[in-house]
Amino acid sequence: MTSGRAEDPKSPRVPEWLVEQLRKRFTPYPPPEPRRFNPAEKSTEELLEIGLPPRPDATRQRLARELWDEAFDKEVTIVPFVFDEAMLQSIGYQLLNRQVDAMPIEETRFETSSNWSGVYITGNRDRQFMQLWGVWTVPEQLDLPPGNYQGPVGLPYVCSNWIGLDGQRLYLDSSLPQIGTANTLNLPGPPIVVAWIQWWARGNTTTVPLPIGLTVHPGDEVLAVLTAIDPQTVNFVMANLTTGDAMPAKATAPPVTLPNGTTVYPSIAGATAEWIVERPKVLHSEDRCNFPNYHTSDFSYCFAIEAEAVNITSLLDGIVQKLRGERMIRMFDVLGNPQRTAFISMPRKTSDTSIHLDWGGFFS
């Protein structure tokens, strides 16, 4: 993959100072022995110690308990998170906040974006999201889009599925912890899939996705869970439901330099929760990656846990919020010959906990 700009081949894509910062901020949990075990046989304290989400309350958090049992009430193999600089340096794209809308649309429950497609919900006034769940099947087939939907030669074709907390608000030090998978078109072979975690922050332009090393293939079903341990610490878990492997990791908030030169570390507001297909940006460039024809993509078990505070002690008393009062985001692009605007990724709610997305070709 190329960035679209000339670079010194002796220089790494990600500078060494950022590599060291990421190495300090993203850390593993102590791996259990044996690595393969049934998490249902562990106590809440033991699960937290190894980085897996504790069992939700079967009455108060019925939907979360249903998914937890499906994913973790069986033998699971824990794959330890290892910081792999070579894998980090191989990534040629960045995942960013939702780009400002450039296409006017009537005020409805639908919104538009040039890089996001999916759904988000907002928390109730007196509560905050502190845990987020989602399941998706990694798209099995990526194809070149037809004709004018194709982008500049030399730029990669990439799309990414992810879940995340916050990121919709415009205050200066807002942030967005995320976990997901990214697909890169690799014709004539199958797509290349990378599982990653990231903590984007407004005012920090050096954010890059960090590969976690969990093996994921096209067609695999994955579960992602994101839990706020406290306002500046997040637990990430991805489980490959197809293979039975799972990987937990922990991260702290990224530094943000304010206009007055002060460095701050953003706190999770817990204001919004997102389930998104994204068109990433090319690393070291202002260009967006080309967007492949991903055909269809589905998210299920889309729900978040609301609590009175963003911390792990509030989790067990939290309340499940499904896709109610949701906002749907349509992705668009500006095409040439003739110049016009077209939707290129369209979401549709299929239940209170699931959405279906279609690759576009829908004119505005």
280 neighbors 290 (Cβ within 8 angstroms):
no
13 pLDDT band, cuts 50/70/90, is confident
Nearest one of 257, 275, 266, 195 to 228, comparing CA atoms:
266
Angle at 242 between CA 240 and CA 246, to 5 degrees: 25
What is the model's pLDDT at position 108? 66
Distance from C-alpha of 203 to C-alpha of 106, rounded to nearest angstrom: 30
What is the model's pLDDT at position 352? 97
For residue 242, report the phi and psi dihedrals to the nearest 5 degrees.
-75, -40
57 neighbors 11 (Cβ within 8 angstroms):
no
Taking residue 283's Cβ as centre, other Cβ atoms within 10 Å add up to 22
pLDDT cut 90: percent of the chain above it:
72
State CA 106 to chain mean position distance.
28
Domain residue extents for the chain: 16-363
Per residue in 234-291, pLDDT (tens digit) is: 999 999 999 999 999 999 999 988 888 889 899 999 999 999 999 999 988 888 999 9
- CATH of region 16-363: 2.60.120.700
Asked if residue 173 has pLDDT above 90, the reply is no
Averaged pLDDT, 157-170: 88
173 neighbors 256 (Cβ within 8 angstroms):
yes
37 neighbors 261 (Cβ within 8 angstroms):
no
Identity of the residue numbered 52: L
Identity of the residue numbered 131: Q
Is residue 98 classed as helix, strand or coil in its secondary structure? Answer: coil
Per residue in 46-67, pLDDT (tens digit) is: 999 999 999 999 999 999 999 9
172 pLDDT band, cuts 50/70/90, is low
What is the model's pLDDT at position 55? 95
